[in-house]
Chains A and B, each alone.
Chain A
Amino acid sequence: MSTRTWHDLGDPGDLDGFVAFLAEGGIVEPGDPMPDEYRREVFRFIELHANSELMGGLTERDWIPKAPGLRRKMAIIAKTQDEIGHAHLLYMVASDMGVKTRDQMLTDLFAGRSRFHNVFHYAAVTWADQVAIAYLVDAAALISQQAVLKVCSYGPYRRILKRIVAEEGFHMRHGEEMLLTFAEGTEIQRRMFQEALDRWWLPALQLFGPDSKPDDELITFRIKSEPNEVLRDRWVQKYAPLLTGYGFTVPDPDLRHDPDTGRWEIGEIDWSHLKATLANAGPDSARRIGDAARHWADTAWVRDALERTSARAA
């Protein structure tokens, strides 16, 4: 890792020099001068991540009363706290970039002006959906975040990601444990998980996004280390055999295992679903954003009380 700082290189307008600095492992800290493009792109990426953690945590919370048994309730409470915690940490990192304050980010999110990951634009219908999410979606999130952590050039994000990645690992294993309960269960339980899988396979697959453009700025800026299609393929190669191994059917009629290459090949992906979620027009987008906004308004008294306490303490 380079010990040089961007300060040594000087001119923040010198984009080529900056990219070269990043290419040799340079790390950018909040007070450093940085090109506007970098600040804008990295901020957008972290804001999207923060919003997604928050929206994911809120969905998780909806299931606390419905989770079967005390042990699973406790596990899901812990997971909810993790996800909301991830959002907290990421909003701190994002607001220190000086593009938007945390209040502005939250206001934009609840007004439907911001983006969050596609998977949180769908309804979780049964408890099996929550299990499919914990298993497939947290795994997909983990693969993408590990790829960011590998190169991440923005210091505060890199440090926070370490803890997030460790905790996503807990979620994924928790998801797999619950999946095993379904897999070893009755015919009704197995059918219930199969139906959840039918709903969640494609959204989870699309979490990685469409194939990256060859000139993806986030790769140049050392935020992403690998193109989307490589990460997506890593996920497919791991989860297609696991799910079929448990006797479930991956909802892709063209999915096949190539005995020569040992690879799992998937069919054509219909990206129209992803496009809808990106426009906040997914099947459950309006309900999710509306609920989040209502909860935010309902808890305004807590923030007011804190503000008053804060003013008194000053």
Chain B
Amino acid sequence: MRTYEVFLKREGKDEFRHAGSLDAATPELALVLARENYARRAEGRLMWVVDRADILTADESFLAPNVDRPHRHNDGALVAARRRAQRESS
């Protein structure tokens, strides 16, 4: 038995979304079980079923360098303050 993750996409809507997981003996049975467990009422028109072991997982330390990058954001506060200053001086 292998564990699979199931993703569904509704037609014309959203992105592929994680639906859940299941255990199956073969990839073919994984597809059948995914359909019968997660798409019984046409919850998706497209389905991805992925062996959990095939998912590349990045841990926190790998993602950490991008947590603190304020220069990649601009919340507009500085712009707003300068705009205000401009208005008041004119």
- A residues with a Cβ closer than 8 A to B are 7, 81-82, 85, 88-89, 92-93, 96, 102, 156, 159-160, 163, 306-307, 309-310, 313
The size class of the interface chain B forms with chain A is 10 to 19
Q: How far is the CB of A234 from chain B (nearest CB, A)?
A: 27
Across-interface contacts of A89 in B (CB, < 8 A): 20, 37
Whether A85 contacts B40 by the Cβ 8 Å rule is yes
B10 within 8 A of A: no
**Interface core residue of A81, A160, A310 (most chain B CB under 10 Å):** A310
Whether B25 contacts A310 by the Cβ 8 Å rule is yes
User: SS class of chain A's interface: helix, strand, loop or mixed?
Assistant: helix
Whether A310 contacts B60 by the Cβ 8 Å rule is no
Whether B26 contacts A85 by the Cβ 8 Å rule is no
- B residues with a Cβ closer than 8 A to A are 1-2, 18, 20-23, 25-27, 29, 36-38, 40, 43, 60
- Pick the 4 closest A-B CB pairs, nearest first: A310-B25, A306-B25, A309-B25, A313-B26
**Docked pose: A82 CA to B21 CA in angstroms:** 16
Whether B18 contacts A159 by the Cβ 8 Å rule is yes
User: SS class of chain B's interface: helix, strand, loop or mixed?
Assistant: mixed
Q: Could you name 17 residue pairs across A and B whose Cβ atoms are closer than 8 Å?
A: A81-B36, A82-B40, A85-B36, A85-B40, A88-B22, A88-B37, A89-B20, A96-B21, A102-B23, A159-B18, A160-B20, A163-B43, A307-B25, A309-B26, A309-B29, A310-B26, A313-B27
Across-interface contacts of A7 in B (CB, < 8 A): 60
**Docked pose: A177 CA to B43 CA in angstroms:** 24
Across-interface contacts of A307 in B (CB, < 8 A): 1, 25
Whether B2 contacts A310 by the Cβ 8 Å rule is yes
Whether B37 contacts A310 by the Cβ 8 Å rule is no
Q: A92-B22, A310-B26 are in contact. List 12 more A-B contacts (CB 8 A).
A: A81-B36, A88-B22, A96-B21, A159-B20, A163-B43, A306-B1, A306-B25, A306-B29, A307-B25, A309-B25, A309-B29, A310-B2
